[in-house]
Amino acid sequence: MKRILAYRFSAFGDVAMTVPVCVEFLEQNPDVEIVFVSRDNFKDLFDKHPRLKFHGVSFDDYKGIFGIRKLTKQLIRQFNPDYVADLHDVIRTKMINSIFFRHGFKVYQIDKGKDDKERLTDVWNLDKFQLKRTVERYADVFRRMGFKLELSHQLRPEIVNKKDIGFAPFAQHKGKMMPEEKSFELAKILAKTHKVYFFGGGKEENEILTKWESQIPNTYSLSGKLSLKEELKKISELKVMICMDSANMHLASLMGTRCISVWGSTHHFAGFLGYGQSEDDIVHVKDLSCRPCSVFGDKECFRGDYACLEEINIQNIIDKV
């Protein structure tokens, strides 16, 4: 049995995107196991295949250069992998890679396509086109090891009789979120014909969604009330999840749930559409030449008015439901 040690430490949605790739890889390569190293709190994402093992770490225990060296040597002693896959490519993983390399291990690193993404998000560049999907970039790491891997890009529902709607109106950055009043109005309309569950996290989001729950009949806020495992189970039961370009889209993909995704300053051309999700379920303002201006939604609006989100028509979302 060959062993691959793979790691990616953040962000949450990007880590979730690795799971369907790992699962399909293991199905197509029955003589291999993957040990996936990531943050402790991501553990419940990785229970999809018996040969997909999870090793959680807390970086409070591995600070600075000496901490990285300590972590890497522990990984070598505990797992002694045949291959090492860096699915993150940040300073921390480059340091880990160099230690593995010095100990004679084969290290394979993701190509993030940074130059292409920089060109894509240049507001003066009008020649926009689809870049390689992130999941294919993950898959390429395994392919360069010499393994075969064909991704299906299909959802795998865990439950047959799905019902109700999930709605996650928030994201990490302003450039990814519809205005609050639009999201509230959308929830009000949807709740007339469907049971709607709100998803969120953090004190401020919990307070807003609890308030919405009290104002809109037939809605239920789950924000801050569920463990990750419980949240994943609930998402697996939903007929559809509505969210921004956020981790919730990738959790829906992981659980085989259709997702209607809303995009503002970001764009699916950068490669981050949820695994198995349809481009027909994307809602965005198509005729803004400045989109996308950001890969992650963390830049200030070039125009200053966030037209990419202010001009979203919620009827387009309702029609797709």
pLDDT in tens, 155-169: 999 898 999 999 999
The CATH code of the domain that includes 24 is: 3.40.50.2000
Same domain, 19 and 100: yes
Report strand pairing: 240-244 vs 282-283: unpaired
Instruction: Pick 289 or 83 by higher pLDDT.
Output: 83
* Six token digits for residue 233: 């189970």
Same domain, 47 and 172: no
Same domain, 170 and 240: yes
Condensed to tens digits (0 to 9), the pLDDT of residues 26-71 reads 999 999 999 999 999 999 999 999 999 999 999 989 999 999 999 9
Q: What range does the domain containing 236 cover?
A: 163-319
The three-class DSSP label of residue 166 is: strand
Confirm if 195 and 220 have CB atoms less than 8 A apart.
yes
Same domain, 173 and 79: no
**∠139-142-143 over CA atoms, to 5°?**
85
Within 10 angstroms of residue 134's Cβ, the number of other Cβ atoms is: 23
Same domain, 20 and 135: yes
Q: What is the pTM of this model?
A: 0.95
Instruction: Please name the residues in contact with 212: beta carbons below 8 A apart, sequence gap of 6 or more.
Output: 184, 187, 198, 219, 221
Domains of the chain: total: 2
Q: What is the pLDDT of residue 49?
A: 97
Q: Which of 112, 145, 178 is the last residue of a domain?
A: 145
Same domain, 40 and 110: yes
Same domain, 137 and 8: yes
Same domain, 15 and 114: yes
In 3D space, the residue among 309, 10, 23, 81 whose CA is nearest the CA of residue 181 turns out to be 309
Instruction: Please name the residues in contact with 41: beta carbons below 8 A apart, sequence gap of 6 or more.
Output: 56, 228
Q: Which of 117, 145, 173 is the last residue of a domain?
A: 145
Report strand pairing: 83-86 vs 240-244: unpaired
Is there a domain that residue 7 lies in?
yes
Same domain, 170 and 314: yes
Same domain, 129 and 213: no
Where does the pLDDT of residue 274 fall: very low under 50, low under 70, confident under 90, or very high at 90 and above? very high
